Structures are given as structure tokens and as C-alpha cells.
Amino acid sequence: MNFFYKLRNYEVIDFIELGLRLWLGYILIVNSRIGVTVPLESLGMSDDMLAIFQTLWKTNFIMHAAKLVELIGGICLVLNFKVPLILIALVPVVFNIYGIHIFLFNKPIGQGLLMFLTCLFLLFRHKEIYRPLIQSK
């Protein structure tokens, strides 16, 4: 009985946030393997796109850092650990993922857009935490 009493204290938007946070975390964890354990060649990219991604991997920093942020961010979202802090690191990465979907995959509407909108929604849900950062004194 106590479990159902606790559930009544939540609103529908809280469950929507939970679902979106878990979905985004899962997607980030799964996608963090691309280029690490999943070969780029197996993704069916065009030769131009493959060359771009291989060049980014050859820098030994850019893609490594992005994949690390994806993995850590995804784990933190799934575990609900320091979500407002993690979102600050994830938004630029997800924005770049969306840009790749737009300009390289020619898919402005799809998973990249959903990921970006989910980040914006989660940022909005934590707006009170960010308010002191953007207010001038």
C-alpha cells in the first residue's frame, strides 16, 4: 500500500521525464560503442562520411572525448545521478549529433532531433537549478 501512496505524489510529467531520461541514456550508451567496438565500415556510410569520421578518430582526441561524454552521460542519466550537471556536458554533444544527422545523413527529422528535444526538455525540467547561472547580479 505504501508504494501506491508514494506514486500518487508524482505527476504525469514526472513519468514522462523518467521515460525520456532513460531512453536518452540508453541511446547514448549504445551509440558510445560506434567506432570503438562497432567498426565504422559496418554502418553503411558513404565514402565521404566514412573519411570524415575516420579523420576525427585519427585525432586521438575529438571522437574519444565525445564517446566518453556519451558513455558517462548515458550512465548518469539512467542512474539519475547529477542529471543537471551531466546535461551541461551532453547538450553540445547531442547538438553535434543532431547536426551530423542533418548535414551528413540528410535527416533533419529523426533520432537526432528527438535526442536534442529530449535534452531541451530535461534542461527545462531543471530550470531552477540553472537560473542562478544566467541571472546577472
pLDDT in tens, 74-94: 999 999 999 999 999 999 999
Which residues have C-beta within 8 Å of that of residue 52, sequence separation ≥ 6? 104
Domain that holds residue 34: 19-128
Q: What percent of the chain lies above the pLDDT cut of 70? A: 93
* Number of domains making up the chain: 1
**Confidence (pTM):** 0.86
pLDDT recorded at residue 3: 59
Do the domain assignments include residue 93? yes
Neighbours of 109 (CB within 10 A): 9
Q: Which one, of 17, 31, 46, lies nearest residue 118 by Cα?
A: 17
Tell me if 8 is assigned to some domain.
no
User: Does residue 40 fall inside a structural domain?
Assistant: yes
Residue 62 resides in a domain: yes
Instruction: Kindly write down the DSSP assignment for every residue of 25-42, as one continuous string.
Output: HHHHHHHTTBTTTB-GGG
